[in-house]
């Protein structure tokens, strides 16, 4: 059950208890933005209720919201029912505004609601400047997705906070929020990691954390970042001290998992360590394959031909065309090479040659420079392998 479902269940329990206490015309507002969860009538008095199923103590926020909801629903009294306690400032704000604060443990023990609230003072209007300041705070918090710091407010708002509360710390505590300057627990750090991951849409780096979190980098000093990434289900972006044997083991573990030798793309997507780890240890991914007596063909990825191999292939194909055409003129060219297929793919793509030599013209110059005799000698070496 997620937090929203738990909150809804708590509202239903409160509604059932209110019905037991004699409230009539009870309705669930099903609106998270108007400050009231339940509206009901007892005798000639209309009430609005906000139900808070939270662990942390409730501050000014819930009090100001439910007082505002009282006007919206044309009610006479406002009530906050909380599964936790209330901050001192919340109690101080509630008393002069005729707002009832009651913990869930006390609420569910009530047998007579009217007697329980009889001693409360007469109604006094809420101070508008407090409410405006609170709304600014909530809008900023909603916009940036975290508890705001001093730099998140304009100079006018900062002046109002200092004038009325002394500093931002006192104001944030008065609304029941947790100061970001307090060293967060490991649970809070994980929650912050997930929040930033959702915000940026990728696995966060430590730089991403620094740029998007209100927690300082020192908060992660007792929680190594690679460990945090692993425990949050992500692969570390950078992990030090990984030996070759471990990379080889992970390569074969992934092979067993997917049923074939993994390609570089599959290693990056599914492997514990990305191909960058292999390149850093072996100099290149091809060197890694060579050490395991594997080739790119084993991984079903395109081969990387050397200049000599490309020249040999080109000349062999050119020789075949010269025999077929019984002429040494107008044999193999760029256009013909593009049309030659092998197993559904280009036999040798002209672009492959161009990339290896820099351009197609550079390849033609290379052919002229090495000369026919040298090409023939290279071809003889190739033919010996098959005789």
223-270 residue pLDDT tens: 677 778 777 877 766 666 778 888 888 888 888 888 888 888 888 888
Q: What whole-number distance in Å separates Cα of residue 376 and Cα of residue 362?
A: 20
CA distance 281 to 381: 33
pLDDT digits (tens, 9 = 90+) for 285-303: 888 888 888 887 777 777 7
From residue 102, alpha-carbon distances to 63, 74, 105, 258, 260 in Å are 12, 22, 8, 57, 63
* Whole-number pLDDT of residue 50: 93
- Do 88 and 59 form a contact (C-beta atoms < 8 A)? no
Same domain, 121 and 138: no
**Total tally of structural domains belonging to the chain:** 5
pLDDT at 25: 92
* Structure tokens belonging to residue 178: 């947790």
Establish if 147 belongs to a structural domain: yes
Range of the domain at 265: 244-291
Residue identified by tokens 């629903």 is: 73
Tokens of 87: 């901050």
Structure tokens at 236: 């570390």
83 is a domain residue? yes
Residue 180 maps to a domain? no
Same domain, 119 and 164: no
Selection from 100, 50, 102, 104 nearest residue 77 by Cα: 100
Cα–Cα distance, 82 to 78 (Å, whole number): 13
Report if residue 265 sits inside a domain.
Answer: yes
Domain check: are 90 and 36 in the same one?
A: yes
Residue 133, pLDDT score? 78
- Amino acid 124: pLDDT: 38
Say what the pTM is: 0.37
Same domain for 95 and 168, yes or no, is no
> What pLDDT is recorded for position 134?
77
Low-confidence ranges of the chain (pLDDT < 70): 1, 32-33, 116-131, 175-183, 214, 216-223, 236-240, 326-331, 370-387
pLDDT at 59: 87
* Residue 58 shares a structural domain with residue 12: yes
State residue 379's pLDDT score.
66
How much is the pLDDT for 121? 42
Instruction: Answer yes or no: are the C-beta atoms of 147 and 177 closer than 8 Å.
Output: yes
- The pLDDT, as a whole number, for residue 40 is 92
């Amino acid at each position: 059950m997620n937090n929203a479902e738990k909150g809804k269940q708590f509202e239903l329990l409160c509604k059932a208890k209110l019905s037991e206490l004699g409230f009539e015309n009870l309705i669930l507002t099903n609106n998270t933005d108007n400050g009231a969860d339940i509206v009901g009538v007892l005798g000639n008095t209309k009430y609005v209720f906000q139900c808070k199923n939270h662990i942390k103590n409730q501050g000014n926020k819930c009090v100001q919201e439910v007082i505002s909801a009282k006007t919206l629903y044309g009610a006479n009294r406002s009530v906050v029912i909380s599964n936790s306690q209330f901050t001192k400032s919340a109690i101080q704000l509630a008393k002069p505004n005729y707002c009832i604060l009651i913990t869930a443990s006390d609420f569910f023990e009530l047998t007579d609601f009217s007697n329980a609230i009889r001693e409360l003072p007469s109604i006094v209007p809420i101070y508008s400047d407090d409410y405006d300041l609170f709304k600014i705070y909530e809008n900023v918090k909603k916009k940036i997705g975290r508890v705001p710091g001093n730099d998140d407010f304009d100079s006018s708002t900062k002046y109002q906070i200092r004038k009325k509360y002394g500093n931002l710390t006192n104001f944030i505590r008065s609304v029941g929020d947790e100061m970001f300057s307090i060293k967060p627990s490991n649970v809070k750090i994980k929650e912050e990691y997930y929040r930033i991951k959702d915000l940026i849409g990728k696995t966060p780096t430590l730089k991403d954390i620094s740029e998007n979190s209100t927690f300082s980098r020192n908060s992660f000093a007792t929680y190594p970042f690679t460990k945090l990434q692993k425990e949050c289900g992500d692969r570390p972006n950078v992990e030090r001290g990984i030996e070759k044997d471990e990379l080889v083991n992970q390569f074969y573990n992934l092979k067993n998992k997917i049923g074939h030798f993994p390609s570089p793309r599959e290693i990056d997507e599914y492997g514990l360590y990305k191909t960058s780890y292999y390149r850093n240890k072996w100099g290149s991914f091809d060197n890694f394959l060579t050490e395991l007596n594997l080739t790119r063909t084993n991984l079903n990825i395109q081969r990387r031909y050397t200049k000599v191999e490309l020249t040999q292939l080109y000349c062999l194909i050119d020789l075949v065309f010269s025999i077929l055409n019984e002429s040494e003129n107008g044999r193999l060219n760029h256009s013909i090479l593009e049309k030659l297929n092998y197993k559904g793919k280009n036999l040798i793509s002209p672009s492959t040659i161009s990339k290896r030599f820099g351009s197609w013209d550079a390849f033609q110059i290379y052919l002229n420079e090495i000369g026919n005799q040298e090409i023939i000698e290279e071809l003889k070496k190739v033919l010996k392998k098959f005789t």
